[in-house]
Each structure stands twice: as C-alpha cells, then as structure tokens.
Amino acid sequence: METNIAALVEKVRALILSQSADELIGLIDDLHPADIVDMLQSLDDSEREAFFRIIPVEKAGEILGELEFEDQAGIIDSIGLSRSSQIISEMATDDAADLIAELPADHRDQILDAMNSEGEELRGLLRYEEDSSGGIMTTEYVAVKADWTAEYTMAQLRKSAPDVHTAYYIYVIDAADRLVGVISLRELVIADLNARIADIMDDNVQSVHVDADQEEVVQMFQKYRYLALPVVDSDGVLTGIITADDVLDVAEEEATEDIQKIAAVVPLDKPYFSTRLRELFKSRIVWLMVLFLAESITGGILQKFSDTMKSAIELTFFIPLLIDSGGNAGAQAATTVIRGLAVRDIRIKDLGRVLGRELALGLILGCAMAAVAFLRAGRVGGGFEIPMVVAASVFAIVTMATAVGALLPMAAVALKVDPATMSAPLVTTIVDGLGLMIYFFIAKAVLLGA
C-alpha cells in the first residue's frame, strides 16, 4: 500500500516539535527508506537535522544511503562529526564509499579517522576508480571454506547474516582467500547436514575483475541474470561482491550518459536541479560551437551553387525539406545502431550486415519519400524538371543518410571511441552538407546540364 507522504510529513513535524523520540522511531520503523526519503524532501534543514539526531544510527544509515549526495552532505555537516561517523558506519560499504569519495579531502579524513576499523575498510574501497567494479562493490558478503560441512556453514551464516549485504549466494574460498566456488542459499538449506561444501558447490563460478569497467559489469548481469556477482583481484582473491540493486543504479547512470551524448551534451554527474547553470552551460556549449562551425560549411555549399539557385529559384523552396529528411533518417539510423552496440546486439564484426540492412532500408524509405516529394514539388509549378530533381534528391539523400548514420557509430567502435559520441546532431550536421551537395549536383545535371 502506498504511503501518504503528505500525512507522514505532518506527523513527523509534530513529533520533532514535541521531541517525542519514541513515537517518531516507532512511526518510521516499518516504513521503507524510499518513502522516508520522499518525506524528508518536504522538511527544512533544521527538521532534517533533528530527525537524524533522534532516530537510531542503524535506521539513519539505511536512509542516508538512499539520499542524493547534496542532501547527504548537508545532513552530515549539520549533525556533527561524531554522529555522522556513527551513521556512515551503518551504511552499506559501497554507499558509504560513494559518499566519502565526494567529500572535501579534509572532511573525508576526519570522518574516516573517527570510524576506526570501518574507516580503514572504506579507505581500501576508495583506492578503486569510481566507475570500476571495485568502485561499486561492497565488502559485506558471505565466504566459507570448501572443507566446511553444510551444518557448520549454516551455523556460521546465522552469526554473520546481520553484517552482510546479501546472502543469496555463498562464496567458497581456499586458504589463500581465492575464489573457488559458489553455492546458493537454497542449495545449502536442502543439502545433507554432513555434506562437505566442496562436494555441493559449483566450481564454475563467474566473477569480474576488480578493475573492470562498470559497463562490463552491467553486461554480465544482463547475460547471466545473477542477483550478485563476486569481484576478484589479479590473483583470484575474493575482494567483494556487486549486487543487482547497485547494477540498476549503474545501468541508469550509463543510459543517462548515453542519452546525453546522443543529444551532443557532455554527460552530467549530478541531477538536473543540483547542477549549476554554469555547469549546464559548459556541458552544452562545446558541442554547440563545434556543430555551429560545421554547419557554416552548409553556407559555403549554398554560395558555391548560387548560380544554380538563381536559374531556378524554386529549388530554394525545398532545401529545408531535403536537409530535414536526410537529418531525420540519419539520426534514426545512428540512434538504432548506437543502442544496438550498447546492448551488444550489434558488434563490430557485423559492419557489413548492418551497412547492407541500412542501405536496403534507405532505398525503400527513399522510394516512399521520393514519391511524396514528387507530388509535393509538382504543386509548385515550373514543369516536370523541378519535381524530378526534388524526388531524385530525396531518394539519394535518405539512402545516403541511413548509411552514414549507421556507419559513423561503427567507425567509432573501430577507433575505440564511445559510439554515443556520434550524436544525432553530429550525424545531422554531416548529412546536411552532403545532402545539399547531392541536391545541387542533381539540379545542375538536370536543369543546366552536367
């Protein structure tokens, strides 16, 4: 049942004002952290501070991990070093590491020093790149020895369960802490109590290297459909696990980044309303300037063929139609191929097949649009030549645009460049220039002679 956030806000405000700590703790105890986060958005800074001072540190850590960094930073600044270090100690290690990494260096060190052993563990996680598997893993997992019995393993699991992030999978390590197998919780529960873990584990365990890019991690989860994936170092030593909920966040981040790149925007690392206008300006101006200068080539093409336009002024009426048709067709092809590359539906070895399919599709689309263009141009008058030029140009431009739109992302992959940088605006700009050249060459050949 969905929580009534407005009513919850009023109750929490009243309990904070009356300093009814026990009632406030009881109220939020059964609420999902996501609902509490929604409620916190309606509280002012002083109310949030009071809220995080009152509730138990375990619950506070769970809630703090759900907030955006700007909100997290405001809260830990307001509640002081001692309280904030206690709360961060209760967060999942991957969430705590993400928070600590964003703090100023001096504040970061103060909190880590106050956290003692947990602080040292977080320092270890902070060594990894933010967008690597080590940067998103948690060190809270269950690991057992191959020579343990199922009964002994269950007993150890009961002891460690409160401190682990997930127990869907139990990982098996050797004397050197190298990953050698995995067993699911279900398999452990139904196993004979005296069975050795080595006899019931699966030794064909999939893992990811600690320095692997987070995009590779997402692809592994998509392929194997795991709830968690172990992370190992170069020696095969188990260093942590990555859970499905963390991968969902990464997948959303990667998709957002690709969408922004496709729109010729430098990817933002903060939510929209948390990003300053200056940063928004910087994220857009570079590509806008590049595209602006590239589009100036179009003016040069128009100038070069000015004599052709003067001889048949009707040609100018159809320039927007032609360049828009080509740009749209190219953007469609580019977007389709970029997405296919992102989800591994298309690979670089498929270049010939992709180009062949897009050329065939371009021919079909070109024929359909050329027929409509011929009828549309015929209404302008000027005889048979103008409609023929427009129709032939639409056919050629749409065919060319689909091929270019498909080819550019594939070329980017071959050059080890993110294909999303072959944005729709970039494809459109290139196609505009080529399309105008095609249009005027055809017009010159038909109207003035080659």
C-alpha dihedral sign at 428, 429, 430, 431 = positive
CATH code at 5-127: 1.25.60.10
Q: Which two tokens stand for residue 192?
A: 């004979």
Question: Could you tell me where in the chain the CATH 1.25.60.10 domains are found?
Answer: 5-127
> Is residue 390 within 8 Å of residue 373, measured between CB atoms?
yes
Token couple for 212: 């692997």
Nearest Cα neighbor of 141 from 85, 196, 93 is: 93
Return the CATH architecture of domain 143-251. Roll (3.10)
Domain span(s) for CATH 1.10.357.20 in the chain = 272-448
Place of tokens 């401190």: 163
Whole-number Cα distances in Å, 347 to 157, 215, 250, 339, 411: 43, 16, 22, 11, 11
State the span(s) of the chain assigned CATH 3.10.580.10: 143-251
Q: What is the pTM of this model?
A: 0.67
Domain covering 272-448: architecture: Orthogonal Bundle (1.10)
pLDDT tens, residue by residue, 223-238: 888 889 999 999 999 9
Please state, as a whole number, how many other Cβ atoms lie within 10 Å of the Cβ of residue 248.
12
Beta carbons within 8 Å of 153's beta carbon, 6+ residues apart: 144, 170, 188, 197
Lowest mean pLDDT of 248-252, 296-300, 382-386, name the range: 296-300
Asked if residue 427 lies in contact with residue 327, where contact means CB atoms within 8 angstroms, the answer is yes
Low-confidence winner among 90-104, 122-136, 312-326 (lowest mean pLDDT): 312-326
Question: Tell me: the pLDDT tens digits for 261-280?
Answer: 776 667 776 777 777 888 88
- Using CA of residue 215, residue 219, residue 225, residue 230, what is the dihedral sign? negative
